[in-house]
Structures are given as structure tokens and as C-alpha cells.
Amino acid sequence: MAVRHHLIRRPPHAVWAVLADPARYGEWVVGPSESTPLDQAWPEVGSRIRYTLRLGPWSSDGVTTVRHSETGRELELEASFKPLGTARIFLQLRPWGEETLVVCDEHPLRGPGGALHNPATEALLQLRHRGMLARLARVVERQHEGTRHT
């Protein structure tokens, strides 16, 4: 399992505000170029986002479904991308003083991605998480620049 953590210099409610906004998915997740909520209830269990991956002239859509949500603390997603199958992505927000320790745990769940999972793909997931958590931190910290904690 690819597990990575990142300290964000804002409280958990500020991080959750970004995770709970389906229109911002493409700003912090590495890969999608755009996202569209398919349900108005994001991030309630069962709600979905459609996202588009682009690579040059090629593009393809996938869907991410919320499998578990504990407001302000945990968000567990199943990302489905037809060619590769699905992946489980678990984000946990832990208060760390006045900041937030975000723990991300991702692994292939179904389809060819799971069958091809190996140390090399694990290393790629670690690189993806490094970028994704850094992007999440930038989005949250930029959004809440005027509301610094004391």
C-alpha cells in the first residue's frame, strides 16, 4: 500500500472545505484536467465525480465514488478508470496542533491495476501522492491566507 503523509499549515476544517468541494477536485488531484460533480451530495457516501484525464490529444473519463465519509476527518474514495480498473484512496485528517496532518493511503482495488501492482507501481503511487498532497496544501493554504491561525 502506498501511504504518505503531509503537514498542512491550516486546521482540519480548512482542509475539509477543499476536499468537500467537488469543483476543486482537479486542482489538487494529480491526473485529472477537469472534474464535474454527478451528484449534489458530495462528499456523502455514494456521491460521484466524473473526471477527465488528458494526455496530448488523447482523453478519457473516469468516475470517483465516495465510499466512506466522516465530516472533517476521513474521506475514502473509489476511483474508477476503465482501462486500469479501480483504486481505493483514503484520506485522513488528523489535528496536529493548529495544523493538519493528512494521511493518504491508496492501492489498486479491482481490475488490471491490481493484477499489475508491484514495487515499481508502488513507487509511482508514492510520487503521485507527493505531488497530490503538496497541491492540496497549496490550494488550502492559498485559500485561507487571510485566516492565519494564532
Structural domains in the chain plus CATH codes: 2-30+68-144 (3.30.530.20)
Look-up of cell digits 466522516: 70
- What pLDDT, on the 0 to 100 scale, is given for residue 150? 44
- What pLDDT, on the 0 to 100 scale, is given for residue 146? 57
Q: What is the pLDDT of residues 11-60, one digit of tens each?
A: 999 999 999 998 888 888 876 667 788 988 999 999 999 888 777 787 77
Q: How far is residue 99 from each of residues 33, 142, 145, 146, measured CA to CA in Å?
A: 29, 14, 13, 15
Report the run of H or E that residue 127 belongs to, with start and end. helix 119-143
**Greater confidence, 82 or 71?**
71
Rounded to whole angstroms, the Cα distance separating 29 from 136 reads: 8
Rounded to whole angstroms, the Cα distance separating 21 from 11 reads: 17
pTM assigned to the model: 0.85
Looking at residue 23, what DSSP letter applies? Answer: G
